[in-house]
Structure formats: C-alpha cells, structure tokens
Amino acid sequence: MEGDKSSGAGAGGLVLLNCFVSPFGNRVRIALKRKGLAYEEKHENLAPKSPLLLSSNPVHAKVPVLLVGGSPVCESLVILEFVDEAFAGNGEPLLPAAPCARAHARFWASYVDSKLPECAVRVWRSPKGAAAVEEGRKDLVAVLKTLEAELGAKPYFAGDALGYVDVALVPFAPWFLTYERLGGFSVAGECPALAAWAERCVRENECVAKSLPEAEDVFQFVCGMRKMLGLD
Amino acid sequence: MEGDKSSGAGAGGLVLLNCFVSPFGNRVRIALKRKGLAYEEKHENLAPKSPLLLSSNPVHAKVPVLLVGGSPVCESLVILEFVDEAFAGNGEPLLPAAPCARAHARFWASYVDSKLPECAVRVWRSPKGAAAVEEGRKDLVAVLKTLEAELGAKPYFAGDALGYVDVALVPFAPWFLTYERLGGFSVAGECPALAAWAERCVRENECVAKSLPEAEDVFQFVCGMRKMLGLD
C-alpha cells in the first residue's frame, strides 16, 4: 500500500493493474463497470512484473492494484469494498445495507477466497497424472457444491440481482473449462444450478459480460504456463 | 451462517463461542468490550466440538461465532466489521471513516490472516527438530518484520489509538512466548518496536488487557496439544 505516489498513474484518475485471466483482477473490472466509472487498465504479464506493480504492491507483488490518483489500493476484496464506499453515489451498492446481510455476504466472499483457488490450483498446476490432481478435483467439487447449496433457488447469491458474492465468484467461471479439461469432470454435471448461475451472470449483466475472458483463451493461457513449467 | 436459529442463545442477546487461546476469538472479545457490549461467552474445547458450534458454523466448524439473537455471524474479521456497523453508536469505531484509510486497514488485517497463522503453525505444531520449524521461524520473523515496518514510529497501527489492525493482530501477542520457545528466537530481539506495541496495547487498553490469556497458559495449552499429537 506504500507505492510510488508520484507515478504517472494520473491525478484523480483510476488505473487498474490487471492480468486478463486473473479472477481477482476481473472482480475489480466488474465493480468499476457496474459503477459506471472510467478507468485505464494496464496489463501485467506477471513475468517479469512491471516496476509499477512492484512499487504499488510491494507486500504481495500481485494484481490487482487499483491506483486512485496514484495511490494504490491492493487485494481484490478490499478494492471491491473501497469502490463500494468511495463511489457510493454511483448506482446500486455491491453490499447490502443491513449489518447482518453484509456479514453474510462477506462470509461467503471470504469462503471463496480461502477455499476455491487453493483447490483449483492443484487441478490446473499439478504435473499430469499426479495424485494431487484427483485430490484437488474432489476438494474443488466439494467447494462448488457448498457454494451451490448457498445459492439455493435464488437467481443470484445476493437474491434477485448481482451483488458482492456474485462479483467475487463469477470471474472464476471462465476457468471452469480449464478445471474440467484438466480435472476430468463437468461443472454443469456436478453443480447444474451453479453452472446456470454463471451463465445468468454473463447474460443479464453487461458489466460481467464485458469483464471476463473467453474460457478457451484461459485454457490456452494455462496450457502455455504448464508447458513453461514442464507439467505436461 | 445457517445455524440453528431456534437455539437457546438468547433472543436479542450476544453470545460468543470461543476458545480462550484463540487469537481469532479474542479479537471479538476485544471488539465487544471496546464497544461496551454485554455478552455471554461459551467456551469451546475444540475436541469434541459442541453441537451449538457445529450447527452455528457448519461450513468451517470453527470459533469464533457471534450469535446475535440466535443468528450466527462467523469469521473473526467479518465479526469485527459486523460489530463496528451494527453498534456504530457505541464509542469510537474500529475502522476509520475515509474509504482509502478503511482499505489500508483492511489490507493489513488481511495480511495478518493470510500470512501469520500459516507460518506460526509450522513453528508450534511441527515435530521437534523438524526442518519445518526452522523454515516456519524464518518466515514468521519476516512477517513480523513486515508488520513492524508498517507500524513504523506510530504508537498504534491506526495512529494514536487502538484500531482495526491492532485488534486483528494483538491477540497473537500471548502466543509470542510459545513461538519463541519452540522456534528458538526472541520477538523483542527481532522486532523491538512490535514487542513494545504489544505491551502498549495491553497497558493502555482495558478491553485488550481483559481479553487476552496469559502467555504461559497459552504455552501450557500448546504443550498439552503437542503431547496429544505425539510431536515432542
């Protein structure tokens, strides 16, 4: 959070440091578009990381970073809350108003962060045929089923419209194809309501449709990374 | 979050499910005392876990849980924000008012959660003499030094008075003695300003002093757990 405040990030402007496949960075894209905020996006390749990324997020050296008049805000869920609070006048809030409902939404976003990426990475970044892939798949399916149970019969996690948990989770949907191909399972087969929810998020929300990469592009990105890491 | 709402937790009352050594549970103790809120505390032994804990936090089955008129709020940082929002009229808020400052505080509390427990557990829950202890110690000292750098010359992370990051971090202080004895290092030697901050938190804040266990009791608790796990 102590980045270079004299960077050319634009006084007063919003600059998002992101990588096009990052579920975390794409949360911020969705939130900014939903609020109707103009911003500039700088694409990070992750290797090598840009001097701006390293100076803006020296603690984690990770995307996303939102530069606000040059000052960095880091960590995707922290950025979502920041956007919701700093631009409270722009459209519907991401978080509900009631403290209990806010806690409920934060609980589930925190669940996504603490469980989903850790299982998923074992599926897509383990050597081909490793036992870790099968264990990762089992754990990932259990996490997705838990999320599906929380979704229940509602159209969105928040109820009738896109909210905080939806924005936190839906950027993982373009990764489902990669999980399926490398883990040997079907998200729609295991969790039909969750698969339908992901399609609904894209179909009914322009801010989502315009923020997410194609699933095939994510898979090709992962294939390139696996080749580089010697995993196949 | 879907716990048994018909439990005898008391309509309208606050009930904290906690274990006396839990840094996460003791965050909530501090927040409730700071807000001057009356609450009942139910002590969990962790093995076996109580039916009330299992029904109140079916997803994680972990303390702390704050029952609010019987409805559970789970995850310690989520509970801190809930307490701050639901009882906004009770004394000074834990989080500052400005969105940028709130993001800064949330970033550092999230840093504590994502880094500190994972390193610490390798120090205190690895077999005696294992390489993991030494690796855990190195990583833990690096985390504490990063936190010390963020503290800087300020009396508290929040500035002149106890705030969100202080409440998130200080319940780990009674564990320092355990980390030191099992990891073979001195927190005050490595991070003198952080050690002084921990003492200041206790000395100047009754809500902290009344919420934390004795360091020696934490160590004895850990020794008992290590014996049970066959680690010594």
CATH number of the domain to which B30 belongs: 3.40.30.10
B7 in any annotated domain: no
Residue B109 CA: distances (Å) to CA of B64, B112, B170? 16, 5, 11
Of the three residues B49, B64, B86, the one that is the final residue of a domain is: B86
Query: Do residues B75 and B40 both lie within one domain?
Result: yes
Report the domain count for chain A: 2
Question: For A147, which residue in chain B has the nearest alpha carbon?
Answer: B59
Bridge-based pairing of strands A14-18 and B14-18 is unpaired
Residue A94 counted as domain residue: no
Mean pLDDT of B137-141: 98
Non-local CB neighbours of B56 within 8 Å, separated by 6+ positions? B3, B4, B7, B17, B65, B67, B72, B74
Same domain, B81 and B187: no
* Distance, C-alpha B14 to centroid of its chain: 19
A63 with A19, same domain: the answer is yes
**Chain B contact set for A146 (CB, 8 A):** 59
Residue A158 lies in a domain: yes
What integer pLDDT is reported at residue A10 of this predicted model?
A: 43
User: Who among B1, B73, B111 is closest to A59 (CB)?
Assistant: B111
> Do both B105 and B127 map to the same domain?
yes
Least CB–CB distance from B110: residue in A71, A78, A102: A78
| Chain B neighbors of A85, CB-CB under 8 A | 99, 102
For A68, the closest of B74, B82, B100 (CB atoms) is B100
Note down pLDDT in tens along chain A; length 232 residues: 333 333 333 446 999 999 999 999 999 999 999 999 999 999 998 788 999 999 999 999 999 999 999 999 999 999 999 999 999 999 899 999 999 999 999 999 999 999 999 999 999 999 999 999 999 999 999 999 999 999 999 999 999 999 999 999 999 999 999 999 999 999 999 999 999 999 999 999 999 999 999 999 999 999 999 999 999 8
- The answer to whether the CB atoms of B73 and A146 lie below 8 A apart is no
pLDDT tens-digit series, residues B2-20: 333 333 334 469 999 999 9
Domain residues for the domain of A108 are 99-229
B193 belongs to a structural domain? yes
Q: Are residues A218 and A105 in the same domain?
A: yes
A113: nearest CA partner in chain B: B114
CATH of the domain at B159: 1.20.1050.10
Same domain, A161 and A211: yes
Residue-wise pLDDT for B181-229, tens only, equals 999 999 999 999 999 999 999 999 999 999 999 999 999 999 999 999 9
| Residue A201 domain flag | yes
Residues A170 and A74 occupy one common structural domain:
no
pLDDT at site A12: 63
Measure Cα distances from A134 to A50, A127, B46 in Å.
Answer: 35, 11, 30
Q: What is the ipTM of this complex?
A: 0.94
In a domain, residue B91? The reply is no
Q: Is the pLDDT of residue B96 over 80?
A: yes
Are residues B148 and B184 located together in one domain of the fold?
Answer: yes
User: Is residue B20 domain-shared with residue B125, that is, in the same domain?
Assistant: no
Query: Does one domain contain both A115 and A152?
Result: yes
Last residue of a domain, one of A57, A86, A115: A86
Boundary of a domain, candidates B34, B58, B86: B86
The Cα–Cα gap between B20 and B64 comes to 10
Strands A65-68 and B14-18: unpaired
Residues A38, A116 within the same domain: no
Q: Which of B1, B81, B99 sits opposite A82 (nearest CB)?
A: B99
Whether residue B59 lies inside any domain: the answer is yes
Distance separating alpha carbons of residues B46 and B63, to the nearest angstrom: 9
Chain A residue numbers touching B82 (CB-CB < 8 A): 99-100, 102-103
Report the residue of B60, B100, B114 to disrupt the A interface, i.e. the one with the largest count of A CBs within 10 Å: B100
pLDDT at res. B12: 63
Q: Answer whether residue A166 is part of any domain.
A: yes
Query: Least CA distance to A84: which residue of chain B?
Result: B99
- In one-letter notation, the amino acid at residue A16 is L
Tens-place pLDDT, residues B161-178: 999 999 999 999 999 999
For residues B76 and B107, membership in a common domain is answered with no
Map residue B43 onto helix, strand or coil.
strand
pLDDT the model gives residue B7: 35
Which helix (H) or strand (E) element contains residue A43? strand A40-43
